[in-house]
Chains A and B, each alone.
Chain A
């Protein structure tokens, strides 16, 4: 009887030279031998894993969109958002905002800079075009602006944030007067003290207030400056999501991975750098790193390096 090792070796041999085997022989080893099938699944996952990590480089979405337009929209006029939004990397729709406000975020600046751009760099209002027509107004928001989004009220802490309001579905007012999109007032972003948005009588509204305003003392920012990271060293047994690094908002003393939210060292969907980049925006940030027993120095050095790259300076390493 063949050992598992023999089966895997035979599988490797077939993979190196599949044309020397018939389709039936390939099917036989994949379908009739559990060890070989599991080994094949592991090999597929290993190749996919490395491919996944190699695919982590920045994507030029706009270039891809242009290719898409050329190939699939040849007779339609080019959309002209990017004339205005070239510096923005992502466009996020605020969920639950049926009146189609567009939230435009510059992650690179958000994550790399601790300071808001100077007033001279940003205008408060920008017209967004589709061809020759103005279809929306972008409102640039400085750090420290009071945002009232429906029932949600907070101080904006990200250094670069913009909201876009579609004129078709939203009325935009500046200090009580409806804005003429073709004749936008030239104001610095820092002049905006409060932005109110929501929906009323079936239509969206955005009220921009530049008059001095008293911000309630108990109003909080939208970034939690405290974060705890847990390093488990290996993937915990029974973990549904296989990861060796976990996070939790706030400072936390526990070492049980179940109390945390999983993240990843390098993944795009939930990457620890995203949490750290946001935390680092706050000067009063504090990160605690809980390290389980047996975690190698390689992992500890790796998280220290990430801290440095993310400009997280105030952190403590706790080992039981």
Chain B
């Protein structure tokens, strides 16, 4: 069993990045905390300690795999409705590059989409509103919201390949 002092040191050093990755993948703070705690429980119960220079990669991979397993346990309907990644393994081979790409998508949407495209994009993906609710909030026709969001997705796709 790994020494508590060492476990605490790893926790202090890596927890914030691990929880951020878990929140990004799972969208739910409580479930993300469970996923990260699971990693430390398994580490605590094992006798194998990752080398200092590999600890971060080891822990981040463990979080990613834990999150992917949790997503797989959800029904397809739930995965689809909540916009979970359906092919998460291939998405997250390079976690840091993936994070940068995610930021690039949001930065492009926030800085380069014209209105009302930008607001619709943000309401859908940042606030998680359904399109009919967006149409209602913006007092727009539902078909127009569909059209603008489709155009925005295509525009972002041209700039950033997820």
Binding site for B on A (CB under 8 A): 4-5, 8-9, 12-16, 18-19, 23, 26-27, 30, 38-56, 59, 61-62, 64-65, 67-68, 71-73, 76, 79, 81, 90-93, 95-96, 102, 130, 135, 234-235, 240-244, 262, 264-270, 296, 298-299
Please state if A81 and B150 are interface contacts (CB–CB under 8 Å).
Answer: no
CB distance from A194 to the nearest CB of B (A): 25
Residues of A within 8 A of B80 (CB): 14-15, 18, 26, 30
CB distance from B92 to the nearest CB of A (A): 10
Among B12, B33, B102, B147, the residue within 8 A (CB) of A48 is B102
Please name all residues of chain B whose beta carbon is closer than 8 Å to the beta carbon of A265 when the two chains form the complex. Answer: 103, 107
CB neighbours (8 Å) of B41 from chain A are 72
Bin the interface of chain B by size.
35 or more
Least CB distance, B101 to chain A, in whole angstroms: 4
**Are A27's CB and B76's CB within 8 A?**
yes
Q: Using Cβ atoms and an 8 Å threshold, which residues of chain B touch A9?
A: 146-147, 150
Q: How far is the CB of A24 from chain B (nearest CB, A)?
A: 10
Q: How far is the CA of A234 from the CA of B160 in the complex (A)?
A: 10
| Residue numbers in B under 8 Å from A30 (CB-CB) | 80, 86
B-chain residues with CB within 8 Å of residue A269 when the two chains form the complex: 17, 96, 99
Tell me if B68 is interfacial: C-beta within 8 Å of chain A.
Answer: no
Q: Please determine whether A59 and B19 come into contact, CB atoms closer than 8 angstroms.
A: yes
CB proximity of B114 to chain A, nearest CB, Å = 13
Q: Are A71 and B102 in contact (CB under 8 A)?
A: no
Q: Are A91 and B104 within 8 A (Cβ)?
A: no
User: Which of B12, B44, B126, B149 sits near A12, CB closer than 8 Å?
Assistant: B149
Q: Is B153 an interface position by the 8 A CB rule? A: yes
Q: Point out the residues of chain A lying under 8 angstroms from B25, CB to CB.
A: 48
How many Å lie between the Cα of A159 and that of B27 in the bound state?
38
Could you say which residues of chain B place their CB within 8 Å of the CB of A54? Answer: 23, 126
Q: CA separation between A267 and B100, bound complex, in Å? A: 7
20 further A-B contacts with Cβ under 8 Å, apart from A55-B20, A55-B23, A76-B4, are: A9-B146, A15-B80, A38-B162, A40-B86, A42-B105, A45-B105, A47-B27, A49-B125, A51-B23, A55-B19, A59-B19, A65-B15, A73-B4, A91-B13, A92-B13, A241-B100, A241-B101, A264-B100, A264-B103, A269-B17
- CB<8 Å pairs between A and B, sample of 10: A12-B146, A44-B83, A45-B105, A46-B109, A50-B125, A51-B23, A52-B99, A265-B103, A266-B103, A298-B111
CB proximity of B107 to chain A, nearest CB, Å:
7
Which residue of B has the minimal Cβ distance to A14? Answer: B80
Q: How far, in angstroms, from A166 to B143 measured CA to CA in the complex?
A: 66
Checking A5, A47, A53, A56 against B128 with a beta-carbon cut-off of 8 angstroms, the contacting residue is A47
Known A5-B150, A9-B150, A39-B157; judge A51-B27 contact (CB<8 A): yes
Complex: A229 Cα to B66 Cα, angstroms: 37
Contact B162 A299 (CB under 8 A): no
Is B136 at the interface (CB under 8 A from chain A)? Answer: no
A44, B104: Cβ atoms closer than 8 Å: no
Q: How far is the CA of A92 from the CA of B9 in the complex (A)?
A: 8
A23, A55, A79, A81: the one contacting B77 at CB < 8 Å is A23
Whether the Cβ atoms of B4 and A43 lie closer than 8 Å is: no
Closest 4 CB pairs of A and B: A49-B102, A45-B162, A50-B126, A242-B104
Q: Tell me if A41 and B125 are in contact (CB < 8 A).
A: no
A12 to B142, CA, bound (A): 11
Name which residue of chain B comes closest to A31, CB basis: B86
Within 8 A of A (CB), among B1-27: 4-5, 8-9, 11-13, 15-17, 19-20, 23-25, 27
A243 touches B96 (CB 8 A): no
State how many angstroms separate the Cβ of A16 from the closest Cβ of chain B: 5
- B137 at interface (Cβ–Cβ under 8 A)? no
Q: Are A46 and B125 in contact (CB under 8 A)?
A: yes
Output the nearest chain B residue to A45 by Cβ-Cβ distance.
Answer: B162
Q: B119 within 8 Å of A by Cβ? A: no
Given A43-B125, A268-B16, the answer on whether A71 and B83 have CB atoms closer than 8 Å is no
Give which listed residue, B37, B109, B126, B157, contacts A71 with CB less than 8 A.
Answer: B37
Most buried by B among A38, A45, A65, A71: A45
Residues of B within 8 A of A270 (CB): 96
Q: Out of A12, A18, A81, name the residue touching B81 (CB < 8 Å).
A: A18
Chain A residues positioned under 8 Å from B156 (CB to CB): 42, 46
A52 to nearest B CB, angstroms? 4
B70 on the interface (CB 8 Å rule)? no
Does B11 contact A65, Cβ atoms closer than 8 Å?
yes
